[in-house]
Homo-oligomer: A and B are copies of this chain.
């Protein structure tokens, strides 16, 4: 039982540090960079960091966690929840991408040249493919259990790896934005401290989530009456 208390404490810490990261991004964009709009302006750009981190960091992690948090719920419900949260994450990401492309086009800024953009777009594409493959393999009826079982470890590996890519993209994005907007980054004004701290929050969040979803000790125990024991732990 002690193991499950440790698990719960880690889940709680992950939620606190993840939400702190998102809040700091919101404060950075909302208070220091002029707030939000949908008119092609820099206020539309500001939706990009917020929506990408809400979608591909926070919601992504929540979707991975559901298998281990709702340990006593029938697996088919958890599978659906896992898929739906990921779908919500994808919607956030698509709107977040639209925000930055609109803003670049509005201002005549070149799209897709930076390493952040190369890795970021790859992350979204891989995430979409992973969602599609997961849906076809684990939710569409008729797929053989052998096929599902053989795909599962690959699905789980790419799930964690793409999450890592999303966090790395966010850290590069924070770096880029600070260098573009601050002349005095090296003086560490409040804005820089807030953005750097958001980055640290996402890194710690990634660490705790990575531990929670890969640690064997925290695996969901299969319940006898379930006949679909193949989705993520």
Contact = CB atoms under 8 A, between A and B. Distances in A.
Contacts of A203: 119, 165, 168
Contact of A215 (B114, B157, B176, B210): B157
A195 to B, nearest CB: 7
Contact of A157 (B186, B195, B214): B214
Contact of A200 (B119, B172, B176): B119
A167 interface: yes
Contact of A172 (B171, B188, B192, B210): B171
Contact of A113 (B113, B188, B206, B215): B188
In this complex, the interface size class of chain A, counting residues with CB under 8 Å from chain B, is 35 or more
Interface in A106-140: 109-110, 113-116, 118-119
A38 interface: no
Given A113-B186, A113-B192, A119 B199 contact: yes
A114 B185 contact: yes
Judged by DSSP, the binding face of A is helix
A207 B161 contact: yes
Interface of A: 109-110, 113-116, 118-119, 153, 157, 161, 164-165, 167-168, 171-172, 174-176, 178-180, 185-188, 192, 195-196, 199-200, 203, 206-207, 210-211, 214-217
13 contacts: A109-B186, A114-B175, A114-B196, A115-B171, A115-B199, A118-B196, A119-B200, A153-B216, A157-B210, A161-B211, A172-B172, A175-B175, A214-B214
